[in-house]
Amino acid sequence: MRGRTYRYLTEEPLFPFGYGLSYTQYKLEDIRYDDGKINGTVSVTKPSRIMPKGRSAVVQVYIKGVDIQEPFKQLIGFQRVAVDHSGKQTFSINIDPYWLRQFDEATQEVVPIPDGKEITLLVGFSSADHDLIELTTKK
């Protein structure tokens, strides 16, 4: 799958996964990971004349792979966030424990990431590296 999907792509794609899901430019603020949830705020940075009403952003959460066997990043959650008239909206995305797994070389199986192990989550509006905020935390 190397070079065929965002999960294993080494170069910058022309249109990253999630590209074009919003007509307006947004910014993420106060991103944190608590008890299996990504919490934060979406705010409008550049309103669009195309869709003045019903603005919404699709916030995506990826887990970053830690070894050569794993994808570089993998989508593990997303949520459409409707931004109100104030230009800000808070959100919370539940992360299913199923996605917090890794390949175990010894057993040749996919197993849960052990508690206390450091994981890296990426939060943004597309799979493009420049569009993602990196959160390093312990599971």
Position 55 scores a pLDDT of 72
**Percent of the chain, pLDDT > 70?**
77
Determine, yes or no, domain membership for 36.
yes
Average pLDDT, the chain: 81
Q: How many domains does the chain have?
A: 1
Give the model confidence (pLDDT) of 79-135 as tens digits. Answer: 999 887 778 899 999 999 888 888 787 898 888 888 888 889 999 998 888 889 999
Determine, yes or no, domain membership for 108.
yes
pTM of the full structure: 0.78
Determine, yes or no, domain membership for 28.
yes
Determine, yes or no, domain membership for 1.
no
Q: Tell me which long-range contacts 32-36 makes (C-beta under 8 A, separation of at least 24).
A: 32/135, 33/95, 33/121, 33/135, 33/137, 36/94, 36/95, 36/97
- What CATH number is associated with residue 16? 2.60.40.10
Tokens of 34: 């608590």
Determine, yes or no, domain membership for 122.
yes
Give the model confidence (pLDDT) of 19-74 as tens digits. Answer: 766 667 788 999 999 888 999 999 877 665 555 556 788 999 999 876 656 667 88
**Which structural domain, as residue segments, surrounds residue 124?**
6-138
